[in-house]
Amino acid sequence: MTHPPDIALARTVLAAQPFSALLGARIARFGDGAAELVLDLGSDHRQQHGYAHGGVLAYLADNAATFAAGSLLGAEVLTSGLTIEYVRPARQGPLRAVATVDAATTRNAVCRIEIHGPDGTCALAQARVTQR
């Protein structure tokens, strides 16, 4: 028996990830093949020029994709591939990573991810997520 996606459960799963807790990420939307993660950009998230570190943007893309895919495939999923294009430096937050499943089978999903800040789109990504 499958259970409908539950944002409260998704928030519990996110809170149980030590790295997500360290960064301060939170989930704003979850279900029906979509997810949105939000991160307030702090001084610890920046590189030497003051912009959001690319690793922070890649983290947001990766985790947003697994939540979007997990809403369809179940909680036991892992990212099996990720490509990201940095469009413009993120100078301020909050950053919002919006992931949607573009295609899915019973075990795999391909997701599109857009990461936005107050200045506009800062990264575009695609991820393949697989059941563990």
Token pair 């360290």 in the structure block, residue? 22
Q: Provide mean pLDDT across the span 106-117.
A: 98
Q: pLDDT tier at 5 (50, 70, 90 boundaries)?
A: low
At residue 116, the pLDDT reads 98
What value does the mean pLDDT of the chain take? Answer: 95
Closest CA to 68 of 107, 110, 39, 106: 110
**What digits encode the pLDDT tens for the residues 6-61?**
899 999 999 999 999 999 999 999 999 999 999 999 999 999 999 999 999 999 99
At residue 4, the pLDDT reads 57
Q: Report how far Cα 35 is from the mean position of its chain's Cα atoms.
A: 7
pTM: 0.94
Name all domains of the chain by residue range, CATH numbers in brackets.
Answer: 7-131 (3.10.129.10)
| Distance of alpha carbon 128 from alpha carbon 111, whole angstroms | 6
At residue 1, the pLDDT reads 35
CA distances from 21 to 28, 98, 101, 105 (A): 15, 19, 25, 31
Residues 6+ apart with CB under 8 A from 85: 123, 124, 125
For residues 92-119, b (16+ Cβ closer than 10 Å) or e, as one string?
Answer: ebebbbbbbbeebeeeebbbbbbbbbee
